[in-house]
Amino acid sequence: MIEKQKNRRWRGASYFIALTLMIPVLVMLYAGINASNELFIHLWQTVLPDYIANTLILGVFVVLLSVIFGVISAAVIVHTNVVGKNALRWLLMLPLAMPAYLVAYLYTDMFDYAGPVQRALRAWFSWQSPSDYWFFDIRTLGGASVVIALVLFPYVYMLARTAFEQQDQNLLRASRLLGLSAKQSFYKVALPLARPAIAIAASLVLMETLADFATVQYFAVNTLTTAIYDTWLGYNDLASANALASILMLFILFAVVSEQRARAGQTYQSERPNKNHQLIKLTMIQQLFASGFCWLLVIAGFILPFILLLFMAWQYSNIAQLQALLPTGINSIKIAVWAASLTTFFALLLVLFQRLSHDRWRALPMNISGFGYAIPGTVLAMAMLATFAPIDHAINDVAKYFSLPTPGLVLSGSIFAIIFAYVVRFAAIANGTIDSGIKQIPKSIDYAPASLGVGLFTMLRKIHLPLLKSSIFVAWLLVFVEAMKELPAVLLLRPFNFETLSTQVYQLISDEMLEQGALGAILIVLLGLLPIIWLNRAKTGNGEEEV
Amino acid sequence: MLKKSKASKLVSKLICGVAVTLSFIASAAQEVNVYSYRQPFLVQPLFDQFTEQSGIKVNVVFAKKGMAERLAREGEYSPADILLTTDISRLIELYDRGLLQANHDKVLTDAIPAQYRAQDNSWFALTTRVRNIYSSKRLGVVEINYEDLADVKYQGRICTRSGKHAYTVALVASMIAEHGEADTLIWLEKFKANLARKPQGNDRGQVQAIHQGLCDISLGNSYYFGKMLKNEQQKIWADGVNINFPNQANRGAHVNISGMGLAKYSPNVDNAKKLMIFLVSEYAQQLYAETNMEYPVRVGVVPSKLVASWGEFKADSLPLEIIAKNRTLALKLIDKARFDL
């Protein structure tokens, strides 16, 4: 635990970080005050109820599917003797590297009436028109939910797997001794123990889904984000757009907080982490099903879309294009590394403060710093503009006052602005991941060093950080991958002549030329994969520590 | 004492640094900054040519959503000189928010017909694009008006992209100007009832759907037809349709523009004006027409051969400002008709 003086400094730092990250969110809330009633009434009378219904259904479906996909695959990998699990273990993370809007584009293209799948079926069975046969419509809520869940489930998978792996196996053994079957003990012991991790992952999935615009647009599904963009760009009413975005954010937070309340008071740490797994032995048929399920996720979430991209790149790209893309790729990596490192560092600070401080409100800085993830990217980028512009103006006004030459815009349209936006947006991911990791560490450990006279930082360095190592890695990785894919903030906040892979790909997609952008998309995916693979190798290298 | 001298050293260093930076900026003044709603790769060849001719470097930042907001927020310190847009409404939005300044250069006003520039010369069109109706060759030659999209004879035979898309909204805005609010809503509702599937995908996707027999009629911008014809995979889709210029017997086909404006606080006004003059030059207009298959606005510059082969057409002479003015109402009607749902 932290002694008083250090606590004060740490508290100061935590609140400073949290409030800084909150500024754009507050700016958005404030800008929403001037929303027009008239426009709300119009929207309410026409389309808004449908949008809200769609938003709710989409949120529930995607979260449910992601949890089903993620928890089952994590359980199979950790608790069973399924064949090929060493490969599946990291393959299941790969869909994360796929930008959701790309997968949406590829799948809607592939499965709609004019797409190759239905064309082939028509040719095969000599069907002539839509009335000759039934085929599912990809551009529906259902289609959108499945495809979005396919790229987001790895959040659940990664956090659930880490939780399963760090559980005290003695508890499972005890439950078996008390007469539960392997299956029962999984449901009654392992799963409830992993609930905080699963809940954190599910809330990340929910935020990402509901704040999304581009992906659902490919599915012709209208959600609250549709209303936000219509209000802003169509009705030219930015205030009302901000108000709608604020409502969406509060709604998401409400869902997240209710879940937290529902399990308040329950504690989950095991006192003796014990990693000697006793695997559930599956029969051949069961193994076939289990590994089939995991492979299906890997294929649908990663391999198939990746092959489609390769195919397009093969047809439309050349070496010169690849060379031209390299500096762009370096830009992407630079800002992603900065964003991931800063976000992870801040998250560590905030999570440890929450854990070690005696303050009544010690969780507050961590919780409020994660709001940015529940806001649609472009709306957040607009709030960034509104945050930086007054500062820039003030700097120039001061310069003018002292008759110095004005420096122009220092913050707006700078790399700094982009990285700041990323930290605001992805703080929730890093906070959640590290928080879920620290929840697995027994609290008694926090007290032990003090009683032995060891200082706070020695304790952190020798005990907490090593125990958190895998969570820190995962947090960094998740933010890095997200930052590689991120589009709206970098598009709107960047300086002149600054391209990243995602802006490059977007340019082409927005002119209806995904084929030409395939090469850039492949680079986004491959560069996003590098840390996943590196992480996996680093981990298998030292045996007992697993990520 | 020591501290103070350290501090003053730091300040002098800082001032020095700022001065050096500023002199660097001043020496690098041979440049012009463009905020573009238009994909850079479409205009890059033009910029390259401009730089070669004038020695002025062109810096570009491209975005679709929020560019006006960025410009407005940056205010008097904005580095932007030129704004490029792909839709009249965006141009008028910049104008309405007071983010543009007039440029009365005679070269510009002579080159661009009055219909395609602001009355006070604060924005100029660079190209026009038609909102065409594509029809399946199965239908043979058709004479078609936008009004016919509501005709019951096309029930279940029409495909289109989202009603919320800027191109659709602009078309609806022009319908309001012609028929008034009430009739336009009825038209929208009947049009929606005729759709083969809910609005989705992009302009090329609709032609693909016609090729596959899902529908017979679609809305699409003119240049996509050219782009599809030049694309190996998509040529077969375009080959299955005729490109029609609607309303030729009456008010003419709806056209939208891509355009430019001079930023109000442009720091490099002279260079910006040079770029504007370059963009309406015969050479640039020709290049625009050839590479992007749009219609050049400059009088006397002809469209590319392929585009010209689609025939002459009559364009709706409705002032573009009215289309922009009706935009909000158009969107309201689209919501009322629940067009996308």
Query: CA A102, CA A116: separation in Å to the nearest integer?
Result: 17
Nearest CB neighbour to B338, from listed A47, A488, A507: A47
Q: What's the mean pLDDT in B164-192?
A: 96
Query: pLDDT tens per residue, chain A (547 residues)?
Result: 566 777 888 899 999 999 999 999 999 999 888 888 888 899 999 999 999 999 999 999 999 999 999 999 999 998 888 888 889 998 999 999 999 988 998 999 889 888 889 989 998 998 888 888 889 889 999 999 999 999 999 999 988 998 888 777 777 778 888 888 877 888 888 888 888 889 989 999 998 898 888 888 889 899 998 889 888 888 888 899 999 999 999 888 888 888 878 776 666 555 555 556 667 788 888 889 999 999 999 999 999 999 999 998 998 888 888 888 999 999 999 999 999 999 999 999 999 999 888 888 888 999 899 889 989 888 899 899 999 999 999 999 999 899 888 888 888 889 999 999 999 999 999 999 999 888 878 888 887 766 777 777 888 888 888 888 888 988 999 999 999 999 888 988 999 999 999 998 888 887 778 888 899 999 999 988 888 777 776 555 443 344 3
% chain B with pLDDT above 90:
81
Q: How many CA atoms lie within 13 A of B83 on its CB side?
A: 33
Query: CA A437, CA A440: separation in Å to the nearest integer?
Result: 6
Nearest CB neighbour to A220, from listed B199, B208, B211: B199
Considering only residues 113 to 132 of chain A, which have any Cβ-Cβ distance to chain B shorter than 8 Å? 113-114, 119, 128-130
Q: Do B77 and A492 touch (CB under 8 A)?
A: no
Q: How far is A215 from chain B (nearest CA, A)?
A: 12
pLDDT at B135: 97
The alpha-carbon radius of gyration of chain A (Å, integer) is: 24
Picking from A236, A314, A506 by the largest number of B CB atoms within 10 A of its own CB, the best residue to mutate is A236
Q: Are A498 and B61 in contact, with CB atoms under 8 Å apart?
A: yes
β-bridge pairing B158-159 and B217-221: parallel
Q: Do B70 and A385 touch (CB under 8 A)?
A: yes
Q: What is the DSSP string of A269-303?
A: --SS-B----PBPPPHHHHHHHHHHHHHHHIIIII
Q: Which residue has the tokens 């404006």?
A: B261
Query: CA A255, CA B131: separation in Å to the nearest integer?
Result: 44
Q: Are A160 and A74 in contact, with CB atoms under 8 Å apart?
A: yes
Is B18 in CB contact (< 8 Å) with chain A?
Answer: yes
Nearest to A474 by CA among A424, A520, A440, A445: A440
Nearest to A172 by CA among A287, A37, A78: A78
Sequence letter at residue A239: A
Torsion from C-alpha of A500, A503, A506, A507, nearest 10 degrees: -110
Nearest CB neighbour to B69, from listed A238, A407, A512: A238
pLDDT at A349: 94
Contacts of B33 in chain A (CB under 8 A): 496
Q: Are B199 and B339 in contact, with CB atoms under 8 Å apart?
A: yes
Residue B296's CB is within 10 A of a number of other CB atoms, namely 25
Q: How many CA atoms lie within 13 A of B320 on its CB side?
A: 26
Q: Do B63 and A511 touch (CB under 8 A)?
A: no
Close Cβ partners of A456 (under 8 Å, ≥ 6 residues apart): A2, A3, A6, A356
Is B203 in CB contact (< 8 Å) with chain A?
Answer: yes
Nearest CB neighbour to A235, from listed B77, B197, B328: B328
Summarised one tens digit per residue, pLDDT across range B306-321 is: 999 999 999 999 999 9
Lowest-confidence region among A308-322, A444-458, B236-250, B254-268: A444-458
Q: Are A154 and A147 in contact, with CB atoms under 8 Å apart?
A: no
Query: CA A508, CA B192: separation in Å to the nearest integer?
Result: 30
β-bridge pairing B241-244 and B123-136: antiparallel
Close Cβ partners of B274 (under 8 Å, ≥ 6 residues apart): B32, B50, B54, B56
Which residue does chain A place closest to B92, by CA atoms? A236
Q: How far is A486 from chain B (nearest CA, A)?
A: 14
pLDDT at B23 over 50: no
Nearest to B319 by CA among B224, B239, B255, B227: B255
Q: With H, G, I as helix, E, B as strand and everything else as coil, classify residue B136.
A: strand
Q: Which residue has the tokens 């299956």?
A: A183
- Band of the pLDDT at B80, cuts 50, 70, 90? very high
Is A496 in CB contact (< 8 Å) with chain B?
Answer: yes
| Domains of chain B and CATH, by start | 31-128+255-308 (3.40.190.10), 131-253+313-336 (3.40.190.10)
Q: Which long-range contacts (CB under 8 A, 24 or more apart) does B304-309 make?
A: B304/B226, B306/B226, B306/B229, B307/B222, B307/B223, B307/B226
Q: Do B22 and A491 touch (CB under 8 A)?
A: no
- How far, CA to CA in Å, does A392 sit from each of A397, A423, B282? 9, 20, 41
pLDDT at B19 over 50: no
Is A238 in CB contact (< 8 Å) with chain B?
Answer: yes
Q: What is the DSSP string of A425-485?
A: HHHHHHHHHHHHHHTTS-THHHHHHHHTT--HHHHIIIIIHHHHHHHHHHHHHHHHHHHHH
Work out the angle between the directed axes of helices B40-54 and B269-279 (0-180°, nearest 10).
Answer: 110
Q: What is the DSSP string of A118-161?
A: HHHHHHHHT--SGGG-----SSSHHHHHHHHHHHHHHHHHHHHH
- How far, CA to CA in Å, does B53 sit from each of A295, B49, B284? 58, 6, 12
Q: What mean pLDDT is reported for chain B?
A: 90
| Domains of chain A and CATH, by start | 1-31+319-547 (1.10.3720.10), 35-316 (1.10.3720.10)
For residue B259, the cross-strand partners are B85, B125
Considering only residues 136 to 195 of chain B, which have any Cβ-Cβ distance to chain A shorter than 8 Å? 162, 164, 169
- How far, CA to CA in Å, does B331 sit from each of A225, A399, B167, B171, B306? 16, 45, 12, 11, 34
Q: Do B335 and A50 touch (CB under 8 A)?
A: no
Query: CA B25, CA B42: separation in Å to the nearest integer?
Result: 28
Two structure tokens written together for A281: 């032995």
Q: Do A413 and B204 touch (CB under 8 A)?
A: no
* CA A515, chain centre distance (Å): 26
pLDDT at B5: 52
Query: CA B273, CA A462: separation in Å to the nearest integer?
Result: 65
Considering only residues 385 to 414 of chain A, which have any Cβ-Cβ distance to chain B shorter than 8 Å? 385-386, 388-389, 392-393, 396, 404-409, 412-413
Q: Are B93 and A236 in contact, with CB atoms under 8 Å apart?
A: yes
Q: Do A234 and B162 touch (CB under 8 A)?
A: no
Is A502 in CB contact (< 8 Å) with chain B?
Answer: no
Close Cβ partners of A468 (under 8 Å, ≥ 6 residues apart): A348, A434, A437, A438, A441
Q: Do B77 and A43 touch (CB under 8 A)?
A: no
Residue A173's CB is within 10 A of a number of other CB atoms, namely 15
For residue B59, the cross-strand partners are B33
* CA A48, chain centre distance (Å): 27
Q: Do A413 and B205 touch (CB under 8 A)?
A: no
Residue A213's CB is within 10 A of a number of other CB atoms, namely 19
Picking from A42, A135, A225, A233 by the largest number of B CB atoms within 10 A of its own CB, the best residue to mutate is A233
Q: Which residue has the tokens 């602001």?
A: B118
